[in-house]
Structure 1
Amino acid sequence: MYKTILVPVDGSAMAMRGLDVAAELCRTFGARLITLCIYRHHSPLEASLSMVRARGERQRPDDALKSYASDIANAAKERALEAGVEHVTSYAKRGQPARAIVEFADEHDCDLIVLGARGNGDLEGFLLGSVSHKVASLTRRQCLIVR
């Protein structure tokens, strides 16, 4: 039934619940699992403010965020492998979360997107609706929202 399942992760407990459900589905259907962590691009103002630091290693904000997102996606991949999923890949991508998830699912021909109901969103997400709600309303692909 499912060949490729996408699980967007942000490190939250709810995203990990979604990952666990997706892992079970992958084992049941022999599907491939993709973990994806989206990081937000910094504006030039945010980037310039973040450059004011104490002495030591300096890293561009986008590079630091990409590295952090990669760590989250790779940790999710390891968790899925430990849960018995045979084929798992992980990605970190920059962008607006809901749109980036939908675009990624289209690019990789995912059959199902499994999302946690709420993640580590900000105040804007609380006021304007969760990423899971936005993804479900933007995509034509099947979505499973896990609570």
Structure 2
Amino acid sequence: MIFSKILIPVDASRHSESAVNYGSALAEISEAKVILLHCHRPIPTGLGEPNFQKAIDDATRDSYAILEKHTSMLKAKNIEFDEKIIGGSTAKSIKAVAETEGCDLIVMGSKGKSDLEGLVVGSVTHKVLHIAPCPVLVIK
């Protein structure tokens, strides 16, 4: 199967690194564009100024640092990519970006929780599997 856009949600975990490795290999084979996404926690609006702006700046800086860790590999392989940073519910954000960008595939890491643990703990991967608008490849 050939893909045109692959969404790879990332965080600072080694599981994300594995997802980027697999996703970039698929992108190379398919000549697909990669959308690299980091979702940070929502910023409470009740913080007031200047605390609210500082929280946004900190979240943005931390998010770019996480993305930068993965973009160097994509650049080295000459893979076309975009970076996106969104705050809010991670699973819903992944779904929204996949829909908006018209992604054919989502590649994401998993910490290896069982179905029961995923339901109880509410793992992001487990949620995405159920709401994604396209196939999801889960990398352990």
Q: TM-score, normalised by structure 2?
A: 0.84
Gaps of 5+ in 2: 113-117
Cα pair distance change 1:127/1:62, threshold 3 Å:
farther
Cα pair distance change 1:71/1:114, threshold 3 Å:
same
CA distance in 2, matches of 1:114, 1:101: 11
Q: Counterparts in 2 of 1:61-72, with a 5 A limit?
A: 61-72=55-66
Letter in 2 for 1:74: E
Asked if the contact 2:9/2:108 (under 8 Å) is kept, the reply is yes
Asked if the contact 2:98/2:133 (under 8 Å) is kept, the reply is no
Output the aligned Cα RMSD: 2.3
Who is 1:17 aligned against?
18
- Displacement of 1:139 after TM fit? 1.3
Q: How many residues align?
A: 132
- Displacement of 1:85 after TM fit? 4.1
CA distance in 2, matches of 1:85, 1:77: 10
Letter in 2 for 1:102: K
- Displacement of 1:34 after TM fit? 1.2
- Displacement of 1:127 after TM fit? 4.2
Who is 1:8 aligned against?
9
- Displacement of 1:126 after TM fit? 8.6
- Displacement of 1:42 after TM fit? 2.5
Q: Counterparts in 2 of 1:28-107, with a 5 A limit?
A: 28-44=29-45, 47=47, 60-82=54-76, 84-107=77-100
- Name whichever structure is richer in helix by fraction: 2
Gaps of 5+ in 1: 52-57, 120-124
CA distance in 2, matches of 1:128, 1:20: 26
CA distance in 1, matches of 2:66, 2:120: 25
Q: Secondary structure at the match of 2:34?
A: strand
CA distance in 2, matches of 1:9, 1:41: 16
CA distance in 2, matches of 1:145, 1:79: 20
Who is 1:54 aligned against?
none
CA distance in 2, matches of 1:103, 1:145: 18
CA distance in 1, matches of 2:14, 2:102: 26
CA distance in 2, matches of 1:126, 1:140: 20
After the TM superposition, which segments of 4 or more aligned residues of structure 1 sit over 6 Å from their partners? none
